[in-house]
Each structure stands twice: as C-alpha cells, then as structure tokens.
Amino acid sequence: MEPAPCWLAGLRFDNRALRALPVEAPPPGPEGAQSAPRPVPGACFTRVRPTPLRQPRLVALSEPALALLGLGAPPAREAEAEAEAALFFSGNALLPGAEPAAHCYCGHQFGQFAGQLGDGAAMYLGEVCTATGERWELQLKGAGPTPFSRQADGRKVLRSSIREFLCSEAMFHLGVPTTRAGACVTSESTVVRDVFYDGNPKYEQCTVVLRIASTFIRFGSFEIFKSADEHTGRAGPSVGRNDIRVQLLDYVISSFYPEIQAAHASDRVQRNAAFFREVTRRTAWMVAEWQCVGFCHGVLNTDNMSILGLTIDYGPFGFLDRYDPDHVCNASDNTGRYAYSKQPEVCKWNLQKLAEALQPELPLELGEAILAEEFDAEFQRHYMQKMRRKLGLVRLELEEDKALVSKLLETMHLTGADFTNTFFLLSSFPVELESPGLAEFLARLMEQCASLEELRLAFRPQMDPRQLSMMLMLAQSNPQLFALMGTRAGIARELERVEQQSRLEQLSMAELQSRNQGHWADWLQAYRARLDKDLEGAGDAAAWQAERVRVMHASNPKYVLRNYIAQNAIEAAERGDFSEVRRVLKLLENPYHCEAGAATDPEATEANGADSRQRSYSSKPPLWAAELCVT
C-alpha cells in the first residue's frame, strides 16, 4: 500500500496521453520484465515502475515551478514537507492517480539516424490538472531502467541532475521557452560513472529530477515510423504504422495547438501544414533566444527538440564566457557540429527531419516550402528584435542595425570579451560625446576582455606535437584515408590553436590592451552614432535615456548559470551541503538588474565563509573555470 501524501495530496491526475495514444501491452513474465531492453513496436508508451532509492533526501525545490501545479509553498513543518517531496519525487512512492510510463521515440544523433531511443532515463508520471484549467505533465528523470535504457541503468547522478535542475529554472527566469524542474532528490544509492570516459570510473549518488512541461513529445516521437535509413540501416520500431502517426498528430494538435485544430477541422493537410508552420516559428524563436543569452545546448539531436518549441533535455550545456562563435560546450562533440554559431542551422536541419517524418500526412514539398519561407525570416526577425533591446535601440528599426550587431560580436571575439558582462555593461555607456564618465566606462570594458593568461590557456594546443605532425603527414601521403578518419575539422582547429599560441607568445600585455582599446573605440563610435539617430525626434531626451536603460536592464542578465557556478554548487552538494544549490537557485530567479527600490540583489545577502574559489557570480569567471569539461 502506497503512503498517503499530505502537502502533495491536492495534485489531481488525468492522464490523457495514455488514453489517446497506443500503450504497449505488459510483457509476460516477472515484474522486472517490464523494464527489460527491447524494441517497442506499435506503441507510443510502455508502462514502467520507478526503481526505489536508498534513503532519498531533498536537494532543493523550485517553488515557482511547483506553483504551476497549484502547490503553494511547503508547509511550516519544513522537515516533513521535504521528506514527503523526497519520497514521492524520487519515485519511491507514487502519488494517487500517477501512471508511470516510458515514451518511445527515435532520433538523428549527430546527424545519423540512431533508430529506437526512447525514455531510457526518464518516466512519464502522469498529467496534473489544476484548478485554473491548466494541464502539466510530470516526469521523473533518473528513476531507473525502462525498455529504452539499452545497456544503461536508467539512473542520473548528482552533478548532472543539479545542472539540469538549475538550468531549467534559470532559462525560465531569463525568459527563454523551456521545460521546468520542480525538485531535485538525491540518495544513498550509487552507480559507477566514468565521467570523462578516460578509464577512471567512480561511485556517484543516484539523483532524480522532477521535470514539468505541457508535454515532452519531441521531433523524434514522429520518427518511430521511419523505414531503414540509407546510411545507418536502422529503422524505427513502428515502420508502416501510419495509423499511429495520424493518432499522434491528432493528439498533439488538438491538445497543444487547439486554435489550429479549430481553424482547419475539415482539411487535415492544411491543419498539418499550419501545425508545422507554428512549430517552425516557435523553434526559430527559441534558438534566437538562445543566441541572445549566449546559451549552448550541446546535444541538438532530433530527440532533444520539443514539439512545442521548448528547450528540453539539459545535458552538457553551457553559457558563453569569453565570446567565441565556435564555442563547443560538449567535450564529446569532436567535430563541433553543435557549436554556438551553428545552433540555428542545426535547428533548421532538425525541422527538415521532422518534415520528412510527417509524410504522408504532410506532403514533403509543402513542409519544405514552409521551412524555407518561415525559419530564417522568423529567426532573424526575433534575433534582431532582441538585439536592439539589448543595445537600447528603443525607437527605430534600421537595416544598418544588423551590421552594428555583427561588428559588436566581431569586436567581442577579437578582444575575448565576456558575453554576458559586456552586454550588461553597455547600459552604463555615457551617451554624451564629451562625457567625463567615458574613460571610466572604457576601463571597465577593458576588464571584461581576456587577459594574456586567459588567451594562452584558451588557445593551448590539445594534441601532442608528434601526433599532429603524423596526422599532417598522413593528410599529404594518403588524403583518402585521412578523410575517412573524420579528423579534418579537429586538425584545422589544432593548427589554429598552434598559430594563435605563437602570436600570443610575442604579444605584451600593453600591446594587447592598446589593441583592445582600438577595437572598442571604433565600435563605440558607431554605437554612439546609432544612439544619436534613435534620440532624434524623441522629444524628451531624459525620458528616452530612462527608457533605454530600463529596456537594457530588462534584456541583459547580470547572472547566468555559468559552468563554474554550477560546479561550486555540485561540489558542495557532493559534500552533503545543499545550501549552495538553493542559494544559486534563488540568485537565478532574479537574473536581471535590480532597479532602485526593487527587491534586494540576491548576492547582497551572500552567505559568510564562502569557499575561497567563490567570487561574486556576476564577475568574470576565475581562470580555473576554463578547465571545466562537460561531456
């Protein structure tokens, strides 16, 4: 008999997805057979059970996320509320009405069709309906094996769970479309993980994240019908089942795009076209938001793309520190396929795969025409709209703004400027030509540029010189074999690092400072000229300036979840201290500038006795942050 919840007793489940979509019949045999790895043909879900953890305990709750479910703040008896959250959000007990299941989907991973993937480390718990008429799907990530776990254990560990928990909430408060995270629960159960795949495994604590979204259906959900891929030979588990594709489309559109269903009730092709158009627009909007806050997803496979245009599946993500358009946050991405600057084109590529997966319910030529018409235009429109706000261009939209933004990013790249802090600092740029504050502003801007030490660390060669020499010889002597090895891009990057390192060895700090000042002086001159155009005809210059600063403060975060901030919280949690996770969570709930008279800056109440590696989380990252590796 399941224990009865108290604080969580008000959650009411109505699991529409399991009624509307095919669910695999339970396999014969003992209870454990439910989670045995296997193909799951002819179904969108299969029923599973969470595997209990030893001594689950709460790391943190996100009250804003749990409020979506109609839950107020935990009751005054905090210890009891935390124990209840740990029990039910670990999967050790099920809430009344919960029906755990794992979702079947496929995916193109790093450009190659991988066949059946599915919820190998996540479980659908059910859908909570609130008093206001909203419906939210709950998921437990890390609750144990499912038929989609393949040879893995279905578990997540403390470090990856803290990162997902914090980033889900950070992205929401930044204003980026995202799934949410309501709770993070760890335990005394352990699994072995080789963090860097270097032959040094260690025991880590099993941890579960409660995820919340309208749905976790993704592009890959529609790829289960794919026939054998011409490159990999893999096929989806439900080839030929167009009846299920129709069911899935009907469910997704009627549930999550009801206005489209109502507008095209009598014409399925036009309905499906309108649906694909809206998914394209939302995806373009989402990735434009990523680019404007410097977010790198890291694993932009089709199975990690939400059908609602939400950021989903936080793994080896990262926010830009030093601006580098070619930054790759995932150390496993050896070819740089998912580099920061490539994210828009990868999202468009993934939409092409979705269009292919919707055939024959959406003719491919129609899907491709919609993609060509909508994606680039929507991305550019929203990207420039956001960038104008980040630069405080509040009155006019000029064609020349694209060049101004492009030149800004080029200047940031040339000077190694910190992405988040540089944009934040621009709100204090003195608009007046002869302002006495200009020298101070330039000095603060120079502090955000990379030092020689930072640059030498960033461009440190990654390969043994003898290995590089051998690879270059192979490229000359046997170019066909070299091409087959797929290392061309890596070698090119290594040669660039060697060349940059050589230049840096000959550069003094004074020369670097002078060069940086020259780059910034040129761009700031163009920026001031553009601000002058925005001011023209404004009437009240003081009101224009106040609006400019207000918009910039609301568009340029002071805090993002940099890797080193997450790492500080992880290391404290691994020692049994969850206070830093909770402090960072609160900090990220208010990422933007605190106006005078507004709520206190979250860092103003920073705990005493902070770790010596810790600094203000709005300052440039410490040097050791560049050494962090996420796979």
CB 416 within 8 A of CB 449: yes
Contact 196, 629 (CB under 8 A): yes
- Rounded to the nearest 10 degrees, the angle between the axes of helix 541-555 and helix 364-390 is 120
Angle, in degrees to the nearest 10, between helices 401-415 and 509-535: 160
Instruction: Give CA–CA dist 330/631, Å, rounded.
Output: 5
- State the virtual CA torsion across 434, 438, 439, 440 in degrees, nearest 10: 140
Q: Token digits for 156?
A: 């997540």
| CA–CA separation, 220 and 114 (whole Å) | 10
Dist. CA 162–CA 185, nearest whole Å: 9
DSSP letter for 178, please. B
Contacts of 240 (CB under 8 A, 6+ apart): 225, 227
Per-residue tokens: 115: 């066949």
Three-state SS at 184: strand
* Alpha-carbon torsion (59, 65, 69, 73), positive or negative: positive
Structure tokens that stand for 438 in this block: 């200009």
CA separation for the pair 317, 314 (Å, rounded): 6
Q: Is 464 one of the catalytic residues?
A: no
Cis before residue 360, ω within 30 degrees of 0? yes
Q: What span, in angstroms and rounded, lies between the C-alpha atoms of 2 and 332?
A: 42
Number of neighbours of residue 179 by Cβ within 10 angstroms: 24
User: What span, in angstroms and rounded, lies between the C-alpha atoms of 284 and 54?
Assistant: 43
Mapped onto helix, strand or coil, the DSSP state of residue 289 is helix
Positive or negative: CA dihedral 288, 294, 300, 306:
negative
DSSP state of 225: G
DSSP-derived pairing of the beta strands 23-24 and 45-47: parallel
The tokens of 267 are what?
């014409």
- Please say whether the beta carbons of 283 and 347 come within 8 A: yes
Are residues 85 and 58 in contact, defined by beta-carbon separation less than 8 angstroms?
yes
Alpha carbon of residue 68 to chain centroid: 20
Let me know: does 331 contact 316? Beta carbons within 8 Å.
yes
Check if the beta carbon of residue 185 is closer than 8 Å to that of residue 208.
Answer: yes
Annotated catalytic residue, options 119, 303, 333, 418: 303
Q: Supply 1's token pair.
A: 């008999």
How far CA 6 is from CA of 2, 61, 160, in Å, comes to: 13, 16, 30
Among candidate residues 182, 165, 176, 237, the one with its CA nearest the CA of residue 64: 182
* CA geometry: angle 66, 68, 69, nearest 5 deg: 70
The catalytic site residues sit at: 303
